[in-house]
């Protein structure tokens, strides 16, 4: 357990959940990837908007797409409206997505800056697929507008997203950990044979190093890792309960 906490803390700069276990973390620590919530670049504007909204939702924040809000003059449809209720006072963010083939101009920044001022948001994120013209950066100076690519947005919030995903994972590991714990966890209904003991030793490694057919899965992103755990959890729990004689 101490080795687990040390390795995960080094990997992600956070404290590991107390009930997690070393084998699954060893698998995780072997993965080398960028600190991103999404490994695949959005294919279009709507997908970029949806991914941005999903990022904040997975962090435990309130987030909605295509929100129409009143301004000082008229109304504006925000691509993404976000409220972080996990801090006091709460923080409100606005997101504008530009999946253009060209770089965003200063006129767009000036317009979004006015929207953010009217709404009184904490920060407005203007996310562009292909960056910004030099005049756009000048237009954002001394304002609460941040000009970012989607990759930069993910990197900025990666730590909070990762911590939130670990909290999502923790209840599953809390249930599984007693079956793995050799020092006082769940005990089988009857004494195990040597073959059953070997199966018990091997099960965490099958969860740790899953295979598709005869080939091993290669985990290349943090999201793939969390999705893999979700897919494998019920299978592992069923096998452990069978081995412990709990489903008979």
DSSP of 208-222: HS-EETTEE----SH
The model's pLDDT over 5-42, given as tens digits with 9 standing for 90+, comes to 223 333 333 333 343 333 344 444 444 457 899 988 99
Let me know how long the chain is.
Answer: 248
Residue 26 confidence (pLDDT): 42
Most confidently modeled of 134-138, 208-212, 213-217?
134-138
- Please list, in sequence order, all residues whose beta carbon lies within 8 angstroms of the beta carbon of residue 177, skipping any fewer than 6 positions away: 19, 20, 21, 185
Residue 105 confidence (pLDDT): 96
The values of phi and psi at residue 83, to 5°, are: -130, 125
Residue 114 confidence (pLDDT): 95
| Mean pLDDT over the full length of the chain | 80
pLDDT-based confidence at residue 197 (cuts at 50, 70, 90):
confident
- Please list, in sequence order, all residues whose beta carbon lies within 8 angstroms of the beta carbon of residue 107, skipping any fewer than 6 positions away: none
**44 neighbors 196 (Cβ within 8 angstroms):** no
With 90 as the cut, is the pLDDT of residue 190 above it? no
Rounded to an integer, the average pLDDT of 210-222 is 58
Residue 27 confidence (pLDDT): 43
The model's pLDDT over 122-172, given as tens digits with 9 standing for 90+, comes to 999 999 999 999 999 999 999 999 999 999 999 999 999 999 999 988 888
pLDDT-based confidence at residue 116 (cuts at 50, 70, 90):
very high
Q: How far apart are CA 26 and CA 168, in angstroms?
A: 19
Burial 221-230 (b: 16+ CB within 10 A, else e): bbbebbebbe
Angle at 131 between CA 127 and CA 133, to 5 degrees: 120
């Amino acid at each position: 357990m101490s080795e687990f906490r040390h390795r995960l803390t080094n990997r992600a700069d956070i404290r590991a959940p107390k009930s997690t276990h070393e084998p699954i973390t060893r698998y995780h620590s072997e993965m080398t990837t960028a600190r991103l919530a999404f490994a695949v670049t959005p294919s279009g504007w709507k997908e970029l908007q949806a991914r941005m909204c999903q990022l904040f939702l997975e962090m435990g924040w309130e987030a909605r797409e295509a929100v129409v809000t009143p301004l000082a003059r008229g109304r504006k449809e925000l691509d993404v409206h976000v409220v972080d209720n996990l801090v006091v006072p709460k923080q409100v963010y606005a997101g504008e997505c530009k999946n253009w083939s060209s770089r965003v101009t200063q006129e767009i920044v000036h317009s979004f800056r006015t929207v953010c001022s009217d709404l009184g948001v904490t920060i407005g994120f203007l996310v562009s697929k292909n960056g910004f013209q030099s005049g756009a950066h000048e237009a954002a100076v001394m304002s609460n507008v941040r000009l970012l690519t989607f990759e930069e947005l993910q990197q900025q919030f990666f730590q909070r997203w990762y911590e939130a995903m670990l909290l999502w994972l923790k209840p599953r590991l809390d249930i599984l950990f007693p079956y793995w714990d050799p020092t006082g966890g769940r005990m089988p209904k009857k004494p195990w044979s040597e073959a059953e003991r070997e199966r018990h030793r091997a099960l965490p490694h099958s969860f740790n190093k899953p295979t598709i057919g005869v080939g091993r899965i290669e985990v290349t992103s943090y999201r793939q890792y969390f999705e893999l755990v979700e897919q494998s959890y019920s299978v592992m729990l069923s096998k452990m309960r069978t081995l412990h004689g709990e489903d008979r």
